[in-house]
């Protein structure tokens, strides 16, 4: 990809479209179901900014902020990209038939399970609950809203746009 990023005959728009189609789609394959920790999010964000800087031919020694790089490439933060993917997947799973495995896994709980001492590990549902809080939804409200696909997509898009602004 370095040849493409360094080629001055290719427009920035084409480079960013290639980045989204090839790099981001590969990097974030299956990310909609990852239980992300803050450390992993920071690493993904750093990689995201590094690739965007290379698209713009900005050296790491150049004193350009990540916000400026994102503004030039018209890209969202990695956190927003991941949040949008998780929430869209949640809407998809909620609308599934109850016989489908993802739908069953969403509500599955182990009988008689008692959590051990200490802080629980991050899981997908707790990550999505944080995303829903940013949207101003409870889990129950999200279940109702997701049944109307158009409303759900608008809500997710608004949440991501508000956080980006």
The contacts of residue 152 (CB under 8 Å, 6+ apart) are 91, 145, 146
How far apart CA 160 and CA 131 sit, in angstroms, is 10
* pLDDT one-digit tens code per residue, 90-109: 999 988 888 888 888 877 87
Burial (Cβ within 10 Å: 0-12, 13-18, ≥19) of residue 56:
middle
- Whether the pLDDT of residue 160 is over 80: the answer is no
Tell me the two tokens of residue 73. 């490439």
Radius of gyration of the chain (CA): 19
Q: What is the pLDDT of residue 163?
A: 66
What is the pLDDT, as a whole number, of residue 36? Answer: 82
Backbone angles phi, psi at 161, to 5 degrees: -65, -40
pLDDT tens-digit series, residues 117-147: 988 888 888 889 988 988 888 988 998 988 9
pLDDT: is 103 or 80 the higher one? 80
- Look at residue 95 in the predicted model and tell me its pLDDT: 86
Q: For the chain, how many residues are written?
A: 165
Determine the Cα–Cα distance for residues 46 and 48; give it in Å rounded to an integer: 5
pLDDT computed for residue 19 by the predictor = 92
The predicted model scores a pTM of: 0.83
pLDDT value of position 47: 92
Q: Model confidence over 14-69: pLDDT tens digits?
A: 999 999 999 999 999 988 888 888 888 899 999 999 999 989 888 878 788 888 98
């Amino acid at each position: 990809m370095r040849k493409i990023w360094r080629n001055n005959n290719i427009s920035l728009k084409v480079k960013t479209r290639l980045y989204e189609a090839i790099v981001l789609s590969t990097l974030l394959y299956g990310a909609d179901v990852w239980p992300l920790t803050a450390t992993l999010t920071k690493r993904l964000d750093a990689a995201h900014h590094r690739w965007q800087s290379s698209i713009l031919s900005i050296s790491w020694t150049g004193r350009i902020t990540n916000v400026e790089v994102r503004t030039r490439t018209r890209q969202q933060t990695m956190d927003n990209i991941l949040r949008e993917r998780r929430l869209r997947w949640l809407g998809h799973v909620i609308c599934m038939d109850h016989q489908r495995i993802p739908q069953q896994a969403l509500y599955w709980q182990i009988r008689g399970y008692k959590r051990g001492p200490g802080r629980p590990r991050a899981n997908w549902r707790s990550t999505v609950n944080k995303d829903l809080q940013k949207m101003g939804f409870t889990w129950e409200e999200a279940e109702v809203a997701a049944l109307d696909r158009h409303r759900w997509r608008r809500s997710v898009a608004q949440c991501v746009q508000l956080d980006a602004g």
